[in-house]
Structure 1
Amino acid sequence: MVSLCICFPGGTFVTTRHGVKQLDELLQGEEVLTLTKQSQKWTQFYTWGHIQRDLIAEFVQVKVKGGKELQISEEHLLFVEGKNGKRVAKNAGRVVIGDKLYYFDEDSQCTELLAVEEIGKVQAKGVYAPFTMNGDFLANRFAVSCYANVSNCKVAHAALSPLRTWYKVRPEKEDLLSKEGIHSYAEKLMKFRELITTSPFARKVVTNK
C-alpha cells in the first residue's frame, strides 16, 4: 500500500511576494519565503505533491512559546536544532517537548530557535503538499521541508530533480485549480520505493545484517 503525503492543512500560512496567504490560496509560480542556513530567500512554488481540498485529516500540532503553532502530518519533515547546533530534518511525529524549531520573525527579520512546549493531535480540513524549487519553505513561519515519508531531505530533493527541470522548461502551466490527489510523478516514486524495499533481495539484505 502506498502511504499518502498529507503534509499541511489548507489554513497553513505562507509568505509570498504579494503578502501572507493560506496554502489553499497559493498560485502556481508564486515565490514563497524559506530559510537558508544563513538567511531567508525566495523560492518558487511549482506544483502540488498532494492536494485534496475537502479531505478531513489528522495532523500533529506543535506549539512553542508565545502560542505560535504548526499543524503538520506526522511523517512530514520539519527542521530542528541538532547536535552541535546543526539544522537537521526530523519527522513531525518524532518531535518531542524541548526540541527547538526554526522560526522566522518577520517583524525583526531574524531567525529564532523556539522550544516545543506542547504536542497534540488535531483534525483539520484540506491536504496540501507544496513542492518548491528549493525543497523547503516557511509554514506558519516555521522552517519545513517539502517532503514526507522519507528520512533524508537531500535524497528526496534529488529524486524530484527531473520534475523540477520539467516545470522549468515547459512553456505552459498546469491547471492547479482543478487538480486533486497525489502528483503522478510522486506517486510513481512512492511505488518504486515500495517495490524496492519489499523485494526478495531487499528482505535478504536485511535478514543477513
Structure 2
Amino acid sequence: MAYKPVEWEDDIYKKRFVRTLKEKGKTIKEIAEECGVDERGLRRSLNETKRMKRWLVEDIARRLDVSPRFLVGKYDVLAKREGIGEEEEERWLSMLSSEKFPYVGEEVRDTTAKEYLSRLLGFHGISKEQLRALPFETQLDFLEKLEESLASILSEYFPENAAGDDTYVECYRIIASLEGRREDFFAEGVRGDDFV
C-alpha cells in the first residue's frame, strides 16, 4: 500500500499576508488564479484554519518575490515573542517591508549560511565535526545565541547596513530562520540539513 507523503502546513498571520499582497498590487483572487488554486479555499486558509500548505506558501512567495517566512508573518511573531517593549516592538513592525525580505530559494540561502558558519567556526579553530557532534537542539541553541549576540553588537555600532536597511531587522532574519528550524523539528520531527 502506497502512502501519500505528508504535506506540511505553515501557520499564517493574515494581516501580514494581506498587507504583502497589497504592497505587491495583488488581490487574493489574482494570486489564487496565478497559483491554480480555488479562491474560496485560499480565503478559508486565511480566515478560518489560519494554515496553508507549504508548497502553496512557497509558490505564492515566489510569485510575489518575498520570503515565505515573511509572507506568513514569522517576523511579526518574532517581534512579539522576543519580549521587547511596546515601543521597540512597534519600531520593528513598522520597518517590516516586503522589499527587505525578497524571495531567495532555499538552496541559495542554505549554501550561504553554511559557508558563513563554516568560515566563522574555522576562524576560531572549531571544526564542522565538533558542531555536528552536538545534539541538534544544542546546535540550535548555540546558533541562536551566536546570532542574538551579533545582532545586538552590529545594530549598536551600525544602525544601517550598506544598503541603508535597518541592521537590527536584517540580523534577526537569521534568528527567525533558526526558530523555524526548531519549530519544524519539534512539530514534525524534521531535522533538515546539517548547519555546516
Provide the TM-score with structure 2 as the length reference. 0.29
Q: Higher strand share goes to which structure?
A: 1
Larger Rg over CA atoms = 2
Q: Higher helix share goes to which structure?
A: 2
Provide the TM-score with structure 1 as the length reference. 0.28
**Greater relative contact order (Cα < 8 A, sep 6+):** 1
